A and B are shown apart, each in its own frame.
Chain A
Amino acid sequence: MTFLDYAPAPESRAILNLRPSYGLFIDGEFVDGHGAPFRTISPASEETIAEISTADEHDVDLAVRAARRAYDRVWSKLSGADRGKYLFRIARLVQERARELAVAESLDNGKPIKESRDVDVPLVAAWFFYYAGWADKLDHVGLGPAPRALGVAGQVIPWNFPLLMLAWKIAPALAAGNTVVLKPAETTPLTALLFAEIVQQAGVPAGVVNIVTGAGETGRRLVNHPDVDKVAFTGSTAVGREIARSIAGTGKKVTLELGGKAANIVFDDAPIDQAIEGVVNGIFFNQGHVCCAGSRLLVQESVHDEVVDRLKARLSTLRLGDPLDKNTDIGAINSAEQLARIRELSDVGEAEGAERWSAECAIPDRGFWFAPTIFDGVSTSSRIAREEIFGPVLSVLTFRTPDEAIAKANNTPYGLSAGIWTDKGSRMLAVADRLRAGVVWANTFNRFDPASPFGGYKESGYGREGGRQGLAAYLASADARTALAPRASDASPARSDALPTPEDAKAGRAAKSRSVSSRTESSTRKGSAR
């Protein structure tokens, strides 16, 4: 045994007090769903964690009605300061129960405890604290005085950051005065249900937050429910397209945060050791289950060999294994289905002639695992350079000039994020200006902050989450009328005011110029985005 064979240091599961089965959280109470229940398992061991209800059409309708009632009767009548109080309370409860939430997240999702403990859960609290502060300052969002909430938000989130994505969705929605029905992913519903307990603990009025569990069908019903005013979705581009199609013409507002195939550009003057760390963090953080992952490494030809050698050496020190061990760097792949996709695309990469290298590590007998893998000599036309793998697989491509780097980085249907590594400030800014990506990180990667807007170009979706822009996605200016289609609840006082006016067109233009300014802000922020 050597020193580097660290003795197991498992985080205790004793802090978890899970129930054998969970219902849906509707109108402030846990209730049984009417669909066939399903089991949520730990991807590291394939053991069942709990049985989860499935919401059928009727349950989704109950949840939306509860949200509508809570909106009409309570939440829309509260002052911003009072809404803020509830959000602050949630944030503090998240901090109080941080360890429990981290253990539950790692258990259900498979991500290493060091990430759920040091990244996911602290960011969740930060998101609620940040938007709690906004709740009584909506006049300053940029939509003019007294902007209005939209009403009921239907939100569907993915399995890669289950609780963090919940926070990204719920915090701004509630701060802006909306009520929500949220559907977590079917492989990772656990922390959303623990969050429902926190909502009860915080005394949030019944119906303001509703959680419905189930698979794609439940999400489809939620998104298509006629009484939902706003749809927010994070997930795959295919499903995003389907949502956009299904809500077209309904007047529902929508934000979509979809896939990505980010380029991480390493210039020859990069701070080499930190660039290696950044590339590793960019693609192997959360097993590469990150929509903004730096899955394409664009490295300047003159330093290619050195960078690849160093990367391999560094990857050899990563520890794959039990997500609950505090020394684990690479956890389990979230599901058998996802593992199959990663394997399939990796095989394609090999068949297309790229040179495959995987870190040597012992793969546990049970559970879903994939060793950190690099493909060298990947061409831009290769499928592994174009399709989102959503796993711990890095494609290495080279470039010779900054122009070539920019062209290759932009040559993707996606545009969520990008990274630049150079010691030269002027190059950093010049390149960032020409990258078509919603977030550009410079000399860092995968850093998140609630004050910084996040979102994509092209097939990576539209709308921004985070910051002032993320709040605007849940608001309409006082004189704009958002709901075009008449609807039964239109008689409610909150929505019975204005008719469509020429102001609508103006608001549309304002929204456009806003997204431009958000882009500028995010590119000036990047140096300090940490």
Chain B
Amino acid sequence: MSIDLARTVVGAELSERSLRGFVLGLPGVDAVGLEQRAAALATRSIKTSSKRRALDTIVSLIDLTTLEGADTPGKVRSLAAKAVLPDPSDAGCPQVAAVCVYGDMVPYAVEALGAAHAGAGGSINVAAVATAFPSGRASLRVKLADTADAVAAGADEIDMVIDRGAFLSGRYSEVFDEIVAVKEACRRGDGTSAHLKVILETGELSTYDNVRRASWLAILAGADFIKTSTGKVSPAATLPVTLLMLEVVRDWHRLTGELVGVKPAGGIRSSKDAVRYLVTVAETAGERWLDPHLFRFGASSLLNDVLLQRQKLASGHYSGADYVTID
């Protein structure tokens, strides 16, 4: 179905040649202009009631993440508890959108979320990184097994990485086919599917033109979300890159009526930064995108800064790091 749409948009059978023609025919990106626009959006002044609303929105859009080799079931349980009750001193604080973990940690996350898990009637999703995250350097067979394994364990969302090597050497159909295959592997026994987030690792793509091409390629191949980074490569998410990806999903929506989400991940640590992203989302793709189905922050330390800011707005004074839980 999604492949049919891709065929319509590309206007040809999907081959190396037609995909190449399509992505190379996309309009260019002027780096200076893009960065200037992002800088202008960053000057918006979000105060008082707008700030209060923004902070709550940010919490509800966070994929609370732990992606360490040192992760343990205990660490994941603790993360899940924080996802359910971000601020124990304020029951009015919204829950986060998802917890994001490695595939082998999915069962612990599902168990720890309990009734708060989307699968059990709650609203918090479990996202798993897959496809030999973060490098993606494994055979397709391994990547698909990695994905299917996480889905079987109860993951609601799969964060895959694209093959940047193939992309940079111009093998676009290889990148495309791989995403299509992973999307297929997201399918569950009952016919439903885990949502697929496609990580472009923009820090390795190096140019904005490449980011635009990779975004289109991922969306054509069926991505539900396009995501900037693994968080393991610097630079991770930046405002200009996110702006550019938002322009792509906006254009895709205009063209097809379909909605695709965007997830900047890595490097967004302060509320102030996150508010700039909200502004960029609302003024580029539209306010409709300020919804967990269409926008996420991949972050670990951001949540605590937002909680501190919320406390400050409520009480009128700043508390400190010891007034929010570490995980």
Contacts and interface: CB of A to CB of B under 8 A. Distances in A.
Interface in A1-44: 1-9
Interface string B63-75: 0000000000000
A6 B34 contact: no
A295 interface: no
A223 to B, nearest CB: 39
A6 B46 contact: yes
Contact of B283 (A5, A9, A278, A317): A317
A9 B287 contact: no
A145 interface: no
Nearest to B39: A118
B45 A6 contact: yes
A400 interface: no
A62 to B, nearest CB: 44
Interface string A244-273: 000000000000000000000000011111
Contact of A326 (B36, B45, B54, B283): B45
Interface string B284-314: 0001001000000000000000000000000
A8 B278 CA distance: 17
B47 interface: yes
A271 B290 contact: no
A274 interface: yes
Contacts of B44: 6, 326-327
Contact of B43 (A3, A317, A326): A326
Interface string A276-291: 0110000000000000
A114 interface: yes
B181 interface: no
A269 B24 CA distance: 12
B27 A4 contact: no
A443 B32 contact: yes
A490 to B, nearest CB: 52
B47 A7 contact: yes
A274 B282 contact: no
A192 B244 CA distance: 41
Nearest to A442: B30
Contacts of B45: 6, 9, 326-327
A6 B50 contact: yes
A239 B36 CA distance: 36
B278 A271 contact: no
B49 A7 contact: yes
B27 to A, nearest CB: 4
Contact of A271 (B28, B46, B51, B57): B28
Contacts of B37: 273-274, 277
A272 B33 contact: no
Contacts of A6: 44-47, 50
Interface string A438-475: 00000110000000000000000000000000000000
A273 B34 contact: yes
B27 A269 contact: yes
A486 to B, nearest CB: 54
A423 interface: yes
Contacts of B57: 3
A214 B260 CA distance: 59
A3 B32 contact: no
Contacts of A269: 27-28
B96 to A, nearest CB: 18
Contact of B50 (A7, A118, A443): A7
A106 B282 CA distance: 27
B34 A274 contact: yes
A140 interface: no
A269 to B, nearest CB: 7
A530 B29 CA distance: 17
B48 A114 contact: no
* Residue among B28, B37, B54 with most chain A CB within 10 A: B28
Given A4-B283, A277-B36, A277-B37, A9 B47 contact: yes
B240 to A, nearest CB: 11
Contacts, number: 76
Interface in A412-449: 423, 443-444
Contacts of A1: 49
Interface in B166-202: none
Interface in A132-151: none
A273 B247 contact: yes
Contacts of A443: 30, 32-33
A274 B34 CA distance: 6
Contacts of A5: 50
B272 to A, nearest CB: 14
Contact of B287 (A2, A327, A530): A2
B53 interface: yes
Contacts of A277: 33, 36-37
Interface in B10-63: 27-30, 32-34, 36-37, 43-51, 53-54, 57
A3 B54 contact: yes
A1 B46 CA distance: 14
A127 to B, nearest CB: 21
Given A4-B287, A7-B50, A273-B247, A530 B32 contact: yes
Contacts of A8: 47
Nearest to A325: B45
A188 B1 CA distance: 62
A3 B30 contact: no
B27 A272 contact: yes
Contacts of A2: 287
A2 B279 CA distance: 12
Contacts of A3: 50, 53-54, 57, 278, 282, 287, 290
Given A326-B43, A326-B45, A530-B32, A270 B27 contact: yes
* Residue among B32, B49, B283 with most chain A CB within 10 A: B32
A228 B283 CA distance: 52
A273 B208 CA distance: 12
B27 A271 contact: yes
A118 B46 CA distance: 17
A4 B282 contact: yes
B231 to A, nearest CB: 26
A138 B195 CA distance: 67
A2 B48 CA distance: 14
Interface in A79-117: 114
B43 A114 contact: yes
A264 B36 CA distance: 19
A452 to B, nearest CB: 16
Contacts of B33: 271, 273-275, 277-278, 443-444
23 contacts: A3-B50, A3-B278, A3-B290, A7-B48, A7-B49, A7-B51, A8-B47, A9-B46, A114-B43, A269-B27, A271-B27, A271-B29, A271-B33, A272-B27, A273-B29, A273-B34, A273-B37, A273-B244, A273-B247, A274-B30, A277-B33, A326-B43, A444-B32
Interface of B: 27-30, 32-34, 36-37, 43-51, 53-54, 57, 244, 247, 278, 282-283, 287, 290
Given A270-B27, A273-B34, A274-B33, 9 more contacts: A3-B287, A4-B287, A7-B51, A274-B30, A326-B43, A326-B44, A327-B45, A444-B32, A444-B33
Q: Which 10 A-B pairs have the closest CB atoms?
A: A274-B33, A9-B45, A326-B45, A271-B30, A274-B30, A7-B50, A423-B28, A272-B27, A271-B28, A7-B48
Interface of A: 1-9, 114, 118, 269-275, 277-278, 317, 326-327, 423, 443-444, 530
